[in-house]
Structure 1
Amino acid sequence: MDFFNSASGKNITFVRPAYFIISGFIGIPNMKYYYVFLFLLYIVSVLGNTAVMVIIYLDHNLKTPKYVAVFNLAFVDLLGSSALVPKVIDIFLFNHNYISYNDCLTFLFFCYTCLSMQALNLVALAYDRLVAIIYPLHYQMKLTNRFMISLIAFFWIVVITATLTAVGLLTRLSFCKSSVVIDSYFCDHGQIFRLACNDCTPSLVIGKLLPVLILYLPFATILCSYILIGKALAKVATVQERAKAFKTCTAHLSLVAIYFTPIIITFFMGANIHPNARIINLSLTSVFPPMLNPIIYVLQTQEIKVSMKKILKVTGRPKVTNRNVLTR
């Protein structure tokens, strides 16, 4: 307990800033155009993810484990974009750089929760593809809706617990100034605890564990699943069957590449990347996947295409019927 209460001594008074100053995009030229670009990405993300959720909800044929995970991914993308982009635009475009202590921690919680859940949701989709390809005849027995819902619920519990722990440890920190400048585009966990005056070792530890939980472990799990998929496909008799089976993975592989590639590049470059380039790269990583995910699934998934056509036909029928009644 002493480890997690390093600043709880009798003679120590917690000094919490009245507000934080978010300064991430300050000093970068022509940033107003970038904010407009972020806003357009956000609108596309909201429309696309809402459409995917509505399609899956309305079509009974899409009530499968795969689309349970896709529905959750769309929900997380919608929640994450709505938590991040409007606040970023408000902070920088309208010069509201000051954010209160409690609002900053809330902002941090939602951003980290959604980013973490995106990665773990990709793990759930990777497991779905693994079972579908290795055990195609027993897919419905080995992977049920109940199992997928339980898996996603478990991921939510893990992510919320980890993020709440990170936020809770930040409340144990004391700051020497009434205002603290955060050199990022949102309330970044690492930026906050490094500005504390007292011992921040617990926050440093959770700061090291979070990337393992939300980046390295999910990526390694997905990589292992595709190694197993590759071995299974190598045993398939014909090239056409291999191509057909692998085609079912293209949408998921696209999502994995879009999400992990820029983050991994940024993390591995470390101090070698310019701070402004790092901030812009990470901000794009936060908004591009939620915008592209629904587009990829609509374009590359036959079931959703068929479902969209059905829904459009159903919504178009009453108008035709009314015209016929009027003409009679």
Structure 2
Amino acid sequence: MENFSIIVSFELTMDPFCIPPGVKVPIFFFGIFMYLVSAFCNLTLLLLIMLQQSLHKPMYFIMFNLPLNDLVGITSMLPKVLSDIVTETSYTYYPLCVLQAALLHMYGGGVLFILAAMAFDRYVAICMPLRYNALMTPKVVVTIVSLVWGLDLFFIVLLFSLQGNHPRCRSNIMNVFCDNPSLLKLTCSNTTVNNIIGLFNTAVMQVISVSIQAFSYVKILITCLATSRSEAKSKAINTCLSQLAIFIMYEIFTTFTILSYRFKNVNPDLQKIMGMLIFIVPPLLNPIVYGLNSHEVRSNLQKILRRKIYM
């Protein structure tokens, strides 16, 4: 058995990217640009839904949670990573590391559950349009949103409640940001239970989300193919395909990152980049695919811009 010393210090070191000094500043500014674009687009969508009375509908009440979740995800990860790159510092403190990991995992679960809720809403709207208002009442919508965040919070608490049971004997986070697998690598005790619960959480969340989305989109496509209105059919199919493309991209990044922790021969920088893309790509694309792609959102944004121009 290998002997370990218990570490009580809160300071942790991160495993930085191997970046040549000459490109650190360009990478920093490019990263800041992506963050500002994402923050602007998501905040714009949030404000539109809040301030425009015409968007106070079940669909947009559910959609409101997506830019909110995206802001949590990209803000919890990207500014810290960019700061470490440009300042050439790579340390954090254990409580902050746990907080960042919890927020990032909450973002990941939020993406799955929010997209499932939005897919179900579109299923009711397209497949049962005459019953939509009767089915998607304010009470039902509040229940759906409460389930989204309630389930997400439940799985996060279940995952991180076991962290405190293990003494730390290492102080190096093998990533550029904190997540549950990186935190588990700090301990020198048996983490089998944590790994099982982590995989169980991931499997259950994926099954719930994928099942709801698969059912909803299959029903939507069947309804669209059965309709004689070619314009409505084309619009609904294009919407479904664009939303599915974002979801599949997110699943590829997530699956690669989860599996990469199980294999030792994965390039560390590739693992870090794929992990970061989980928190960068959806917040950049979601406001366009789910927000500006909507005719109502675009028309409301145009009204506000015209009003500002002619004031």
TM range (shorter): 0.7 to 0.9
Q: What is the deviation of 1:266?
A: 4.8
Question: Is residue 2:301 matched to residue 1:308?
Answer: yes
* Corresponding residue to 1:137 among 130, 137, 140: 130
AA aligned to 1:63 is H
Counting aligned pairs with the same residue, the percent is 24
User: SS state of the match for residue 21, structure 1?
Assistant: strand
User: SS state of the match for residue 18, structure 2?
Assistant: coil
Aligned residue in 2 for 1:117: 110
Deviation per CA, 1:83-134: give whole Å up to 9, x if none: 2111222233223322111111111111111221122111111101111111
Q: What is the deviation of 1:211?
A: 2.2
Where structure 1 has 5 or more consecutive residues not aligned to the other structure, the ranges are: 1-12, 320-328
Aligned residue in 1 for 2:278: 285
Residues 78 and 160 of structure 1: CA distance in aligned 2, closer, same or farther (over 3 Å): same
* Corresponding residue to 2:184 among 176, 181, 193: 193
Q: Is the 8 A contact 2:242 2:289 kept in 1?
A: yes
Residues 241 and 79 of structure 1: CA distance in aligned 2, closer, same or farther (over 3 Å): closer
What are the residue-to-residue correspondences of 1:1-150 with 2, within 5 Å? 15-23=7-15, 25-29=16-20, 30=23, 32-150=25-143
Q: What is the deviation of 1:76?
A: 1.1
Residues 254 and 61 of structure 1: CA distance in aligned 2, closer, same or farther (over 3 Å): farther
User: SS state of the match for residue 223, structure 2?
Assistant: helix
Counterpart-to-counterpart distance in 1, 2:25 and 2:197: 35
Counterpart-to-counterpart distance in 2, 1:256 and 1:187: 23
Q: What is the deviation of 1:59?
A: 1.2
* Corresponding residue to 1:234 among 225, 236, 252: 225
Counterpart-to-counterpart distance in 2, 1:228 and 1:49: 29
Residues 48 and 133 of structure 1: CA distance in aligned 2, closer, same or farther (over 3 Å): same
AA aligned to 1:73 is L
Residues 31 and 204 of structure 1: CA distance in aligned 2, closer, same or farther (over 3 Å): farther
Deviation per CA, 1:185-238: give whole Å up to 9, x if none: 211211221331222222112221232244454234312321222233333245
* Corresponding residue to 1:153 among 146, 153, 175: 146
AA aligned to 1:59 is Q
User: SS state of the match for residue 171, structure 1?
Assistant: helix
AA aligned to 2:276 is S
Counterpart-to-counterpart distance in 2, 1:202 and 1:76: 29
Q: Is the 8 A contact 2:13 2:91 kept in 1?
A: yes
Counterpart-to-counterpart distance in 1, 2:255 and 2:147: 25
Question: Is residue 2:216 matched to residue 1:225?
Answer: yes
Counterpart-to-counterpart distance in 1, 2:51 and 2:138: 16
Residues 185 and 221 of structure 1: CA distance in aligned 2, closer, same or farther (over 3 Å): farther
Question: Is residue 2:234 matched to residue 1:243?
Answer: yes
Counterpart-to-counterpart distance in 1, 2:293 and 2:245: 10
Q: Is the 8 A contact 2:100 2:179 kept in 1?
A: no
Counterpart-to-counterpart distance in 2, 1:310 and 1:251: 25
Aligned length: 303
Residues 33 and 316 of structure 1: CA distance in aligned 2, closer, same or farther (over 3 Å): closer
Q: Is the 8 A contact 2:76 2:100 kept in 1?
A: yes
Counterpart-to-counterpart distance in 1, 2:125 and 2:137: 12
Aligned residue in 2 for 1:162: 155
User: SS state of the match for residue 187, structure 2?
Assistant: coil
Q: What is the deviation of 1:252?
A: 3.0
Q: What is the deviation of 1:149?
A: 2.5
Compare CA radii of gyration and give the structure with the larger one: 1
Counterpart-to-counterpart distance in 1, 2:151 and 2:235: 35
Q: Is the 8 A contact 2:14 2:91 kept in 1?
A: yes
Q: Is the 8 A contact 1:125 1:252 kept in 2?
A: no
User: SS state of the match for residue 13, structure 2?
Assistant: strand
Residues 214 and 193 of structure 1: CA distance in aligned 2, closer, same or farther (over 3 Å): same
Counterpart-to-counterpart distance in 1, 2:205 and 2:175: 19
Residues 219 and 92 of structure 1: CA distance in aligned 2, closer, same or farther (over 3 Å): farther
Q: Is the 8 A contact 1:297 1:304 kept in 2?
A: no
